């Protein structure tokens, strides 16, 4: 892959993070990447996600915390938008 593609894809991730959470910092973008990838894997290959969850329970718990954080940020953003 080339730098131009990386830059363009990072812009997509940044905008998705902003639309999802209302924020764009790098740490949150990394968490959103994990969220996106795990969600996709869990839906497209549930046995793989289940195997990973069982093999790495600590990582699963950390990922669940990330997912909760993203959902809370998304709920707050939605609530803020409906209050306007």
Q: Is 65 among the domain residues?
A: yes
How does DSSP classify residue 45?
-
What pTM was computed for the model?
Answer: 0.88
Q: What pLDDT is stored for residue 21 in this prediction?
A: 96
Q: What pLDDT is stored for residue 81 in this prediction?
A: 83
Quick: pLDDT tens for 10-63.
Answer: 999 999 999 999 999 999 999 999 999 999 999 999 999 999 999 999 999 999
Average pLDDT over residues 59-69: 97
Per the structure, how many domains does the chain have? 1
Domain that holds residue 60: 3-76
Quick: pLDDT tens for 25-39.
Answer: 999 999 999 999 999
Q: Which residue has the higher pLDDT, 84 or 29?
A: 29
Q: Is 63 among the domain residues?
A: yes
8 to 14, 24, 65, 69: CA distances (angstroms): 10, 15, 28, 26
């Amino acid at each position: 892959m080339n730098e131009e593609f990386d830059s363009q894809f990072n812009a997509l991730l940044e905008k998705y993070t902003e639309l999802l959470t209302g924020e764009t910092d790098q740490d949150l973008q990394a968490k959103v990447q994990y969220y996106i990838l795990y969600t996709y894997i869990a839906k497209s290959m549930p046995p793989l996600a289940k195997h990973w969850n069982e093999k790495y329970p600590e990582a699963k718990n950390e990922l669940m915390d990330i997912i909760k954080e993203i959902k809370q940020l998304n709920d707050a953003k939605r609530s803020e938008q409906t209050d306007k």
